[in-house]
Structure 1
Amino acid sequence: MNISSQPSPTSTSNLLDTVAANGSFKTFGKAVEQAGLKDTLSGTGPYTLFVPTDAAFDKLPAGKLDNLMKPENKAELASLLNYHVVNGRKSVADIGKWESARTVNGQAAAVKMHGDKLSIDGAEITLADIPSSNGLIHGIDKVNIPNAK
């Protein structure tokens, strides 16, 4: 696979500390705090996070992120973030064998291999298998939006 792995500060850091240490994931970290998911993602896990880069958040329609970050939209933001989480510690090798991923949000996200590139719901995994004490992180190049419930 042609997906770059990135060294982690330490694998003793939890998912959120690892996200915070990676300079490309600032927006995701802020969104997790705003959505009230900090305790869950700092907890035991294990979880696999598909973390959109800051550049991926920049691709959202104008005003979308600001609107999601409003206190009255906390549930919608939490649903969107949970669509980027699966239970268990899953490497790209594991994920590459799937047709879809059952997200914590409850919806399935399609998984596809395109040559040596792996995507989840159309978001390409650009950073793979970043370890943390309570799971794995994969950086993705777009924010995946779950279907409205």
Structure 2
Amino acid sequence: MLPERNIIENAVNSGDHETLVAAVKAAELVDVLQGEGPFTVFAPTDDAFAKLPGGTVDTLLQSENQAQLQSVLTYHVVPGNLTRDVLLEEVMDSDGTAAFKTVQGEYLSVMRNGNNLMVMDAQGNSANITVVDVAQENGVIHVVDSVLMP
């Protein structure tokens, strides 16, 4: 991934985010994530999508489920350029858990998990941030090991 490229340009060239790219295209969110931003994206890997119950991804990719897919994907995006240091500072200032409003409109929680950070969705499911601070022209990507649900 190259910092002079935008989120979509880099995701397309990542070997670990083919499902995410297909979902972004099906949800017609390419233009949004190529926009100025800045955006912080908690980007699930292909393995993260594979953890979902059988048929979930195929169902979400169907055109009649586009609104639901858009909701799930925009739930992984927070306005701003929230690097690991910014996230950690917010967590520490918030007694261990910081809430961030997503583009989708609901909140994600970020907390420490040992020396790492993890993200928790509205359902109480968590995702570990496995790669931090992947700089983009229009924001930052943090790779996560699970799909978050609003």
Please give the TM-score of this superposition, normalised by the length of structure 2: 0.89
Query: Superposition pairs for residues 46-85 of structure 1, below 5 Å?
Result: 46-85=38-77
**Gap runs ≥5 in structure 2:** 92-97, 121-125
Residue 37 (structure 2) aligns with: 45
Are 1:26 and 2:18 counterparts?
Answer: yes
> What secondary structure sits across from 2:82 in the alignment?
coil
Deviation at 1:125, TM superposition (A): 0.3
Percent of paired sites with the same residue? 38
Separation (CA, whole Å) in 2 of partners of 1:69 and 1:36: 11
Query: Superposition pairs for residues 83-122 of structure 1, below 5 Å?
Result: 83-96=75-88, 97-98=90-91, 99-121=98-120, 122=126
Deviation at 1:112, TM superposition (A): 1.0
> What secondary structure sits across from 2:130 in the alignment?
strand
Separation (CA, whole Å) in 2 of partners of 1:111 and 1:57: 20
Deviation at 1:72, TM superposition (A): 0.3
Residue 95 (structure 2) aligns with: none
Deviations 1:3-49 (A, max 9, x none): xxxxx3x2111101111122111110110000010001011111010
Residue 125 (structure 1) aligns with: 129
Deviation at 1:117, TM superposition (A): 1.6
Task: List structure 1 segments (4+ residues) > 3 angstroms apart after TM superposition.
Answer: none
Q: Cα RMSD (Å) of the superposition?
A: 0.8
**Gap runs ≥5 in structure 1:** 1-7
Deviation at 1:95, TM superposition (A): 1.2
> What secondary structure sits across from 2:78 in the alignment?
strand
